Chains A and B, each alone.
Chain A
């Protein structure tokens, strides 16, 4: 089985849970099994006229975590498409970094080997071994739930 086929099997197996979670929470989620892309769109809780669009590429899922980014309505990455960070309960820091990264071990973009900020989590091959209290999300629907949690604490969008 190719790496892409293995990733496709994992994503397909998670699709019912992704769709069930999206239905419960009012998110619009598109799963592109052929191209191994998930796009999740939701209204920003603090900005009624603004949609936040999360895009995940999963070319090597689950050996590596997905590459999560925020995109604008044209599908382009832009600072203004990214939620501003806000503390969730008890002073817990946001996964939304002010530099426009989703900083969590379940995002390949966060790792230094992909140009991200983190060397402290080792290689993204070890993404399932990073321990709490850092954010844990080992399936795509778990990731969507964490994105939703942190988005609720976001005061707006980055400039």
Chain B
């Protein structure tokens, strides 16, 4: 692993629309909303309001960094759209 590798989080990301997850990398400092947007693009989503849910089914705040959201290397997250209803 190089020095640069330490600056990246290696995550396993699932999407509702595909049975198999993807391995994706993001900087620790990336905002949750921006990382989720990039992950959503990787799964072919059109624009939305994506965020991540943790394995404990906690939905992450899109406005904070992955580090601040306590996302760790090799964590398994799942995409979900947090857009509004009504």
Contact = CB atoms under 8 A, between A and B. Distances in A.
B3 interface: no
Contacts of B81: 135-137, 142, 145-146, 149
B14 to A, nearest CB: 7
Interface in A59-116: 85, 88-90, 92-97, 102-104
Contacts, number: 88
A87 to B, nearest CB: 9
A20 interface: yes
Contacts of A146: 80-81, 83
A152 interface: yes
Contact of A149 (B14, B18, B45, B59): B59
Contacts of A150: 85
A127 B47 CA distance: 14
B59 A88 contact: yes
Interface residues of A, number: 39
Contacts of B16: 17, 21, 139, 141-142, 144-145
A146 B48 CA distance: 12
Interface of A: 14, 16-17, 19-21, 24-25, 85, 88-90, 92-97, 102-104, 131-139, 141-142, 144-146, 148-150, 152
A69 B28 CA distance: 41
A103 B59 contact: no
Contacts of B45: 136, 138
A104 B80 CA distance: 15
